Structure 1
Amino acid sequence: MQKLTNRAALLAAALAAGALLSPPRDARAAGLYFTDRGVRPLSRGGAYIAGGDDLGAIAYNPAGVYEAGSQLLVDVGLFAWRGEHTRQAIVRQIDPNTGEPTGARFVQTMDAVTGSAPVLPIPTLAASFKVHDRWVVWGGVWAPYAPISSYPEQVKGEPAPQRYALLSLEGSALAFLGAGAAYAPSRALRLGASLGALVGTFNSRVAVSGCVPERMFCAPEDPEWDIHSELGVGPIVAPTGQLGALWIPSPRWRVGAAFQLPVWVRAPATFRARLPAAPVFERATQQGEDADVSFELPYLLRVGVEARPVEALRVEIGLGLEGWSLHEDIRVEPDGVVLRDVAGFPEEFRVPRVVFPRRFQNALSARLGGEYAVELLGRAWDLRAGLSVEESAVPEAYLSVLTLDTPRLTAAAGVGVHLGPWRVDASYAHVFAADGRVRPEDARIPQLSPVRANPPRSPVTINGGAYSARANVVGLGVAYTFEGSGPIRPAARAGAR
């Protein structure tokens, strides 16, 4: 039996090593993450900063990986997301002679649209090795739980009202690759650090407008003037890192803190466009497709305290701060992209720099969760549950279907069963997202146009209206811990779980 277990462990090690060395094709995510990640951590509501003691801690607190010793972890979350949007816009009457607004305006409520995302397996693949009594090293790949959302191109036979914000993120594939080490300088202290990178590609399809009312006889949202564009960003290799600490003053208490550095994305891109059907563009062609894209993703600061009032019970409360104020905009700098033979324009019109305004803000979050160990059917089981509450990082005026981020409550539960050196985990979580509403007069995301060099005096905004979203996550994971690879145990912890 022991030989069979060892062979299974070696097979699992080979599979994990192969996964770590292969491209993260299934580690797909785009936009903002929608909830915490990892099968065991999410089943505790993301309360895993002080209590993380396996490879699931690589995305929360690298100091906790020391507790894992030599371990392999493979888990998968199936993320099912759905969003709804009813757009409202202020319609202004335009003087056909001057192209200027006449002052007449009214609010138009458009048909509702539903967004969905493919239910893809979002994995954690990681391995750690105890190289010394005080040192554990690890490597892994993981992806955030986020939707690759798509919306319809048409509603009731007409162009979909959200098309100027998003048509699809299909083809995006982002993941974190990382490696790190955890060190125990004493029996009560763990320190951890990691280096890694956000890697992959980001792809978005959206409609922009070829209408310039002050120069052409056109309406800004006339479908005949729509330019269907696709922006492919990649390869993305954006370095980042994480620091963590874990203090264990007694068997009953653990205190953890972790800080993840911001991610500065600077990547090449390609811009492709299907030009409008309007007569002005009848002879027009696009020359060149290269561009550069830049944007910033936030730093993360997390702290947590776990109490173990009795041997079998662990309860953690945690707080988080996400520095989304770094995410001001997404900048697209075309590199020699030219539109030729647009009527009324120079023979060669160089597509100008495009800026997608984001104006995100810092967000706070709180988590409460834990687990309880029981003996059932001759096996050791862990029963888990947790709740998390998160603020939105998106100011109301900048909410859109591209990042449908509103305040959220996540309720989660899970179970783990120990089978010798193996642990099998399962979890379920439901994300309750608050409804969002952007008054048309408060909307601040403008309709973009690649044929306009300067911003208009009266921009058309495209993100007014009502928003809602929800998500379910089902997870399954397996961990294998090699015999004799546990951490240093504080003398005061005799009898502690």
Structure 2
Amino acid sequence: MIRVQKLMNRAAILAAAAAGALAVPAGDAGAAGLYFTDRGVRPSSRGGAYIAGGDDLGAIAYNPAGVYEAGSQVLIDAALFEWRSQYTRQAIVRQVDPNTGEPTGASFVQTMAPVTGTAPVLPIPTLAASFKVAPQWVVWGGVWAPYAAIASYPEQVNGMPAPQRYALFTMDGSALALVGAGAAYAPSPAWRLGAALGAVVGTFNSRMVVSGCVPERMFCAPEDPEWDIHSELSVGPIVAPTGQLGALFIPSRAWRVGLAFQLPVWVRAPATVRARLPAAPVFERAVQEGEDADVSFDLPWILRAGVEARVEDDLRVELGVGMEGWGMHDDILVEPDGLVLRDVVGFPEEFHVPAVEFPRRFEASLSARLGGEYSVELAGRRWDLRAGASFEQTAVPPEYLTVLTIDATKVTAAAGLGVHLGRWRLDASYAHVFAAGVRVDPADARVPQVSPVRANPPESPNTINGGAYSARANVVGLGVAYTFEAAPEGSATPRAARAAAR
């Protein structure tokens, strides 16, 4: 009877924790599907090498099969993601025919004033709970957000309109997270299988400038501030289903092999478009009617694999590899629904704004991770010393790189510490992301200046993404896990976790 009552109490606590996790707002923690580094306090301190070695609720973002080792557990962690970038724009300046927009004379490269991008340093959470409903089954639920920058750039530099304005002012107000639930099953001592269903939820918001200049219809310069249209795109609510499958093979206590597959995410969401029309005389009487639109973009599938070696349960080292199908992220399409510009000089009385495509042209990327942890007894406590490093190939071809999502080939170095206090485990981590600098030759730049009033794309579009890019990030995390009931004896769970269950 006492045993039954304990189980009921634990179930009630876990249910409340899971409900709280699923109800918590995502926070400002997502941006355009681009994840700057691995996430989770304990996993990131191992350099993201957590596909085969994940044995707590941190595994929900890496391999759901590993959650079986967590047993009945609650995990709360948060990381402060400090990010900074710099961009020095270069553009080819040409003399053009005002009637056709075609180049008519010599050209030269103009280097503009550098701008610095920043992101708010806010806690990015993981909240999750699991419950061992039977000796072979563990179920869980949680919410977690990617470590990504919500970039902001200045609107003016040296009293002039900022040179990056045609790509981005800010993504302030964006908030993307994953909400999910799943189960892990142990059909035998050597196998763990896991599956999860969830959704990417939240909102995406961006402010930028598009051009009201139409060279083939009237006299204007493409980047004349008088023709700037300040626009804001708000996408949401976003609810995009996804799922994850995972497996662990444990041939002996010394070895674990993990494999996991994250399904793609197809985002199809309503949006609103708000604009401040140009100061040019042809727009003097113009007004915008309607603001509804539909937005679509795709986020990638992810395949992960890892092998972990364990020595006497004290030393654990994992080598992991990954492939991300970013080739799916080809563009962001904005399709207005009844959005009209009225009374623009030289246009029909009602000009229905056409669909606008923001080209992305991302490519599949590869990554590798090496990390682990070493457990020692010190001052009557068990301590976990962790370290790791990762290498990630960029998904963005240089000719399509913009300040909207700065990405580059990255190396991340990380370290962390955990201490066991009975059933409690406290974790801390630090990681630094070194990103390679990228220079986009203006002649190779392929991101055109967007103009919602241009019916046909020009043969020689004005591109807005040439120049030099750099970025880096620091991640500091703290977390706590409480284990009510660990995985059964005979699993490959470290003895510290088994001791906590006694």
Query: Could you say whether these structures have the same fold, taking a TM-score greater than 0.5 normalized by the shorter chain as the test?
Result: yes
Q: Which residue of 2 aligns with 1:124?
A: 126
Are the structure 2 counterparts of residues 493 and 407 from structure 1 closer, same or farther at C-alpha, using a change threshold of 3 Å?
closer
The correspondence of residues 384-423 of structure 1 with structure 2, limited to 5 A, is 384-423=386-425
Offset from partner CA, 1:329-383 (integer Å, 9 cap, x none): 1111100100000000000000001001111000000000000000111100000
User: Matches of 2:469 and 2:495 in 1, distance apart?
Assistant: 53
Given that 2:382 and 2:496 are in contact with CA atoms closer than 8 Å, whether structure 1 keeps it comes out as no
Q: Which amino acid aligns with 1:476?
A: L
Residue identity (%): 76
- Of 176, 196, 199, which aligns to 1:197? 199
| 3-state SS of 2:370 partner | strand
Q: Which residue of 1 aligns with 2:3?
A: none
Given that 2:250 and 2:492 are in contact with CA atoms closer than 8 Å, whether structure 1 keeps it comes out as no
Q: Which residue of 2 aligns with 1:80?
A: 82
User: Matches of 1:253 and 1:496 in 2, distance apart?
Assistant: 18
Are the structure 2 counterparts of residues 495 and 77 from structure 1 closer, same or farther at C-alpha, using a change threshold of 3 Å?
closer
User: Matches of 2:93 and 2:128 in 1, distance apart?
Assistant: 53
Q: Which residue of 2 aligns with 1:443?
A: 445
Q: Which amino acid aligns with 1:427?
A: S
| RMSD of aligned alpha carbons | 2.1
Shift of 1:27: 5.6
Across the two proteins, how many residue pairs are aligned to each other?
Answer: 492
1:294 matched to 2:299? The reply is no
The correspondence of residues 55-70 of structure 1 with structure 2, limited to 5 A, is 55-70=57-72
Q: Which amino acid aligns with 2:287?
A: T
| 3-state SS of 2:405 partner | coil
Given that 2:253 and 2:492 are in contact with CA atoms closer than 8 Å, whether structure 1 keeps it comes out as no
Q: Which residue of 1 aligns with 2:324?
A: 322
Q: Please list every run of at least 4 consecutive aligned residues from structure 1 whose deviation after the TM superposition is greater than 6 angstroms.
A: 8-12, 491-497
User: Matches of 2:401 and 2:45 in 1, distance apart?
Assistant: 29
| 3-state SS of 1:248 partner | strand
Q: Which residue of 2 aligns with 1:168?
A: 170
Q: Which residue of 2 aligns with 1:20?
A: 21
Given that 1:251 and 1:496 are in contact with CA atoms closer than 8 Å, whether structure 2 keeps it comes out as no
Q: Which residue of 2 aligns with 1:223?
A: 225
User: Matches of 1:342 and 1:452 in 2, distance apart?
Assistant: 13
User: Matches of 1:475 and 1:202 in 2, distance apart?
Assistant: 25
TM-score scaled by length of structure 2? 0.95
User: Matches of 2:108 and 2:394 in 1, distance apart?
Assistant: 30
Are the structure 2 counterparts of residues 292 and 51 from structure 1 closer, same or farther at C-alpha, using a change threshold of 3 Å?
same
User: Matches of 2:337 and 2:36 in 1, distance apart?
Assistant: 33
The correspondence of residues 52-451 of structure 1 with structure 2, limited to 5 A, is 52-96=54-98, 99-451=101-453
User: Matches of 2:495 and 2:156 in 1, distance apart?
Assistant: 66
User: Matches of 2:308 and 2:95 in 1, distance apart?
Assistant: 61
User: Matches of 1:270 and 1:434 in 2, distance apart?
Assistant: 36
Offset from partner CA, 1:392-426 (integer Å, 9 cap, x none): 00001001101100000000000000000000000
| 3-state SS of 1:308 partner | strand
| 3-state SS of 1:64 partner | helix
Given that 2:26 and 2:145 are in contact with CA atoms closer than 8 Å, whether structure 1 keeps it comes out as no
| 3-state SS of 1:36 partner | coil
Are the structure 2 counterparts of residues 9 and 373 from structure 1 closer, same or farther at C-alpha, using a change threshold of 3 Å?
farther
Offset from partner CA, 1:236-287 (integer Å, 9 cap, x none): 0000000000000001000000000000000000000000000010000000
| 3-state SS of 1:53 partner | coil
TM-score scaled by length of structure 1? 0.96
Shift of 1:216: 1.2
| 3-state SS of 1:20 partner | helix
User: Matches of 1:272 and 1:496 in 2, distance apart?
Assistant: 54
Are the structure 2 counterparts of residues 427 and 198 from structure 1 closer, same or farther at C-alpha, using a change threshold of 3 Å?
same
Higher deviation after alignment, 403-412 or 15-24 = 15-24
The correspondence of residues 457-496 of structure 1 with structure 2, limited to 5 A, is 457-483=459-485, 485-490=486-491
Are the structure 2 counterparts of residues 439 and 374 from structure 1 closer, same or farther at C-alpha, using a change threshold of 3 Å?
same
Higher deviation after alignment, 27-36 or 210-219 = 27-36
Shift of 1:306: 0.1
Shift of 1:310: 3.5
| 3-state SS of 2:306 partner | strand
| 3-state SS of 1:397 partner | helix
| 3-state SS of 2:311 partner | coil
User: Matches of 2:377 and 2:479 in 1, distance apart?
Assistant: 20
| 3-state SS of 2:403 partner | coil
User: Matches of 1:216 and 1:247 in 2, distance apart?
Assistant: 67
Given that 1:24 and 1:141 are in contact with CA atoms closer than 8 Å, whether structure 2 keeps it comes out as no
Q: Which amino acid aligns with 1:30?
A: A
Given that 2:487 and 2:493 are in contact with CA atoms closer than 8 Å, whether structure 1 keeps it comes out as no
User: Matches of 2:424 and 2:497 in 1, distance apart?
Assistant: 21
Q: Which amino acid aligns with 2:139?
A: V
Are the structure 2 counterparts of residues 11 and 112 from structure 1 closer, same or farther at C-alpha, using a change threshold of 3 Å?
farther
Are the structure 2 counterparts of residues 442 and 306 from structure 1 closer, same or farther at C-alpha, using a change threshold of 3 Å?
same
Unaligned runs of 5+ in 2: 1-5
Given that 2:316 and 2:374 are in contact with CA atoms closer than 8 Å, whether structure 1 keeps it comes out as yes
Shift of 1:29: 1.4
